[in-house]
Structure 1
């Protein structure tokens, strides 16, 4: 077969694969310009489906090789393979057996004599025997056998380069001592001065809650000034010549999400960017048989390269993305989730913005919103939240020039600066919020762009709790990491940045944790002052003694009741107002009345926050899986 390459290429691709001569010429051009094998371009650039290629090989009478992935061994020249791993991946060739005078390999395209010759040149000996296997199996074999050095960097890169910024240690010894001393002093004060301590604590918590809510309220108002701002005009977009566009990497981390792979392919095909300049990596965990088999059995052409990540803990999205960095080729890089629907011109808009702004700006965050916003009450509330967060709060932070916590998707990076920052922390479950702060601490800047990526809003209560508990746990992680040395953090990011970090990162989880506590106090106070407590406790069988009532009342003086009522009334009204104005930019006016449900939505956040707090202590690196593809809604 190797000796008659053109004959087999014509038989396999043109006659059986139904590729026209024009398409074959185009693939050959890409083969030379991209330095990838003919088959890899055919399978990853939308010319032929993997199932169709498998059927072609079987029709040709070729027996497909089945790997024993649990017993793969490195060949004697393993260091050469590691140094040239990218070439073997592009050639879709795996060295199976090697001795001094014998070489046996597995390839994906029996007509590809060029890459077989390349393998012979790298290893310095002739191929004596070859097998044919599916490309996905060869990729998996190469990654799990020779990609372990990259895997180690993906997991421990931040720990090795900047240990103070790594979340591998949840609580440092000084933090544990500080927490212990605070609790001990609190207990002592409560023992000797119970009334004053209880009143003071209640007052402090009320003040901090109100201040945190007020900060977000003012941020939203400040961000609303930019509601109609457009950073890239239509004229600037139209002036872009496709020939000037650089390579752009898109990382697509997935885990057990086979149900949305078909939608993903469709969404990627709609991007207004030259396909040959897109470097799209589908990141699949090696033990994720569901997604792996779904991609192997795809019956229509795809437009991404599968990248199989060797097994390692922690099994987190940042670890997967870090591994993908070492196989990325773009000048710019972004991340999309499997169900994302970005604006079709988003990549061009980001490119145009990066050309306009200084090199200090290393990340552009695009807005996120939902395509199934009207599906049920939960999706409506979720949409309101994302609308004020990405359309108002983040622009407010942007214009104040304080740290911006990045969202989990649609953040676009200068690739070289991302590598300089060390990528993401594989142990942090809100890796992008952490990265935004690390970038700011190194005097880099993050900005936002008025381009939207539509996602799938959680339509299931328990699925929402899982997702939100992970987010809030990650904010706790990020806060603990960067507050290991508050003075050092202050010197790095300045007063404005330090203040913004305290009330946007720390304040976010603080409000959710404190909200139900203060609400319980308020309800108890109201019961106490209205006489309902007497009825509830004794079911109308008797009276609570006046002495007991007086004993309880001294912990809740009248002025504190006024403070608590004011705090909850004004605080909730501010957040309801924030949710209401969130509808205007996107003209989602039918959602405006749902903002009234926000106080109950906050209680859902509190449930998630306490779940996240428990997990922070018991299993800090556990990635709570969010199920996608549940919606029946549409844009």
Structure 2
């Protein structure tokens, strides 16, 4: 029987299955969204109850979740915190079942083409090949009668069932059946909106402009070295001062809302848990095996109905460390593992795009493995969206650090993030200027996110790019009074890797959106255009020119080099030094401002070290520029779990 006929037959035979067919997609896609709801009649669940791993009340909840969500009972049990994988396998092994290793199992493409990944994923089962007139079928629950009947109807044969771990089945099914989804994750934006893709780093027009600009400077230096140097110096120092003044202005505007509560406690209390929408949380991880246990505890503290959470742990195909860390958990997990098949580029936005195909929430957010969000954050966002106009598609929460006092680097990082999220972003929001989103805790309307083309897998600061792209298409982004606490980088070289990627991503974002400046002005208006240039474009340029100005300052003031006096008249040097000094003083001032909202008064003196912190940024900026030219899509891995601050929850409350 063909797959479509099997669907029709099973819909008649199993009316308790809430099956929905999706027209215009592959026949099997989402066709079996509803699943077997009778755990009381399942021998596997009877074994689990007898072994006291599940109660009858648990089975009732599993049945209810299964009918509501459309996933098999065993998947509900393993992914919604009812039973640990170790206890599930222990119970079945004691009952006589043998769990096989299936990583190297042979498969037949003719068999696989009749099964859809989403159906296989919902049931934790996949047919692999025909052997002795039977369909070799890998199953986590050998008692899943619906999937067994699907095999009989589709292939006209009985299944030869091999029992295996649900994680191994997930890994194998996504690897074998996930190619069309991972290709969509990589190329969807490129195909639908080529102009917004960072696949092309420099367009022909941009290369002509850049090399023409370099040629003009070179010709000027050859023809009149002194005059050209003076002009360049004055332009750089003036640009430096103007950019910092703009950021000071943003901070002052944002400071007006220091005590503003976007969502009040009374608004939170008015929410009814039964009316809350399904909320997807994506957790893209790579080699984060050390943080898995902390991640689970952090997720369990979220104040949101468990059956309304759709938590996806996105693991790369080659990341056996993290997969094994999940496998070895000795307590129940509250997330679903999605294995991202291998495909270049190997970036976080590609993994998030892949996860979208399996997400079912009305809203979606992203957290990193070490994140500690405010417990009421999801409810706050729902309340915020309920009162915002329709054009708002994203709410950005503040980010800060739970290990702020660990060393010099974490203190400077905390000052920077406090200034950025507590003052600058509210300033951008107030002035209606495009907001470059932070790396996590941005909450989207899922449907509108998909319509927007989701994240650009070729952009290494995909969220900053998405914020600008959303604004350019008429959408709005709001800032909310909720914080997610992260781990501040406490290692210099790890910090350089992370920051060089961020700065490279800002360069990518600027190049993408400045391919047609006139068109960008029409999309975001002249005010938005200026804000984008001074904020996104000027940030990496400022880090690049900062050490040049400092070198001139040192050569003139400290070493009193005669060549500097010969090259630059005193009035030029005075302007340059004034701009450099005033610019750094202003940045010290705005970093001092950053401590007041969160009362981090112990950090105020560290703001004086901001010029040194900026020099570190300059090192990262030159590294990012080099990578932009030679390896633009390379995602430098930031190592997490390095902090020695273990009492994270207490730190978050300080």
Alignment TM-score, normalising by the size of structure 2? 0.91
**How far is 1:119 from its partner?**
4.5
Alignment correspondent of 1:107:
139
TM-superposed CA distance for 1:52, in Å, is 1.8
Secondary structure (helix, strand or coil) at the match of 2:127 reads strand
Report how far residue 13 of structure 1 moved.
1.1
CA distance in 2, matches of 1:257, 1:180: 42
Distance in 2 (CA, whole Å) between partners of 1:155 and 1:329 is 20
Inter-CA distance 511–7: structure 2 relative to 1 (3 Å threshold): closer
Tell me which residue corresponds to 1:537: none
Segment drifting more, 94-103 vs 315-324: 94-103
Secondary structure of the structure 2 residue equivalent to 1:446: strand
Kept after mapping to 1: 8 A contact 2:544/2:618: yes
> Are 1:585 and 2:597 counterparts?
yes
| 1:94 and 2:129 aligned | no
- Residue 79 of structure 1: how far off its partner (Å): 3.8
2:566 aligned residue (549, 554, 559) = 554
- In structure 1, the partner of 2:584 is 572
Within the candidate set 249, 252, 262, 2:283 is matched to 252
Q: Distance in 2 between matches of 1:223 and 1:261?
A: 36
**SS at the partner of 1:554?**
helix
Change (3 A) 1:149 1:358: same
Aligned match for 2:253, one of 210, 219, 222: 222
Contact residue 49 and residue 299 of structure 1 kept, 8 A: yes
| Structure-1 separation of matches of 2:40 and 2:277 | 33
Preserved CA contact (<8 Å) 2:53 2:87: no
Q: Distance in 1 between matches of 2:39 and 2:597?
A: 62
CA distances 1:251-276 after superposition (whole Å, capped 9, x unpaired) = 00000001111011011111111010
**Does 1:349 find its partner at 2:380?**
yes
Which segment is superposed worse, 159-168 or 247-256? 159-168
Matches within 5 A, 1:450-529: 450-527=481-558, 529=560
- Give the Cα separation in 2 of the matches to 1:112 and 1:440: 47
1:620 matched to 2:632? The reply is yes
Q: CA deviation at 1:527?
A: 4.0
CA distance in 1, matches of 2:378, 2:341: 30
Residue pairs, 1:427-466, within 5 angstroms: 427-466=458-497
Alpha-carbon distance between aligned partners in 2 of 1:151 and 1:179, rounded to the nearest angstrom: 35
Q: 1:74 touches 1:146 (CA, 8 Å); kept in 2?
A: no
State how 1:81-480 maps to structure 2 within 5 Å. 81-82=115-116, 85-98=117-130, 102-121=134-153, 123=154, 125-480=156-511
Cα offset for 1:26?
1.5
Out of 107, 111, 114, the position equivalent to 1:80 is 114
CA distance in 2 between partners of 1:273 and 1:569 (Å): 50
Distance in 2 between the 1:436 and 1:615 partners? 23
CA distance in 2, matches of 1:177, 1:400: 34
Deviates more, 1:386-395 or 1:590-599: 590-599
TM-score normalised by length of structure 1: 0.94
Give how far 1:561 is off.
1.8
2:43 and 2:343 map into 1 onto residues whose CA distance is 40
Q: Using a 3 Å threshold, how does the CA distance of structure 1 residues 173 and 7 change in structure 2: closer, same or farther?
A: closer
Equivalent residue number for residue 44 of structure 1:
79
Whole-Å separation in 1 of the counterparts to 2:361 and 2:158: 33
Between the aligned partners of 1:453 and 1:303, the Cα distance in structure 2 is 19
Aligned match for 1:35, one of 46, 49, 70: 70
Secondary structure, aligned partner of 2:158 = coil
Separation (CA, whole Å) in 1 of partners of 2:45 and 2:319: 35
Asked if 1:629 corresponds to 2:607, the answer is: no
Query: Quick one: distance in 2 between partners of 1:92 and 1:592?
Result: 54
Is there any run of 5+ residues in structure 1 with no aligned partner, and where?
A: 534-548
Cα distance, 1:124 vs structure 2: 5.2
Contact 1:136–1:296 under 8 Å retained in 2? yes
Shift of 1:12: 2.6
Is residue 76–residue 98 contact of structure 1 (8 Å, CA) maintained in 2?
A: no
Q: What is the aligned-residue RMSD (CA, Å)?
A: 1.8
Secondary structure at 1:582's aligned position in 2?
Answer: helix
Instruction: Compute the displacement of 1:18 (Å).
Output: 2.2
- Give the total of aligned pairs: 611
- Aligned counterparts of 2:256 and 2:316: Cα–Cα separation in 1: 43
Whether the 8 Å CA contact 2:111–2:128 is kept in 1: the answer is no
Is structure 2 residue 637 aligned with structure 1 residue 605?
no
Task: Compare relative contact order (CA 8 Å, sep 6+) and give the higher one, 1 or 2.
Answer: 1
Secondary structure of 2:636's aligned partner: coil
Output one character per residue of 1:484-524: Cα deviation in whole Å (capped at 9) or x when no partner: 11111111111011001101001111111110011101111
In 1: Cα distance, 2:549 partner to 2:336 partner: 51
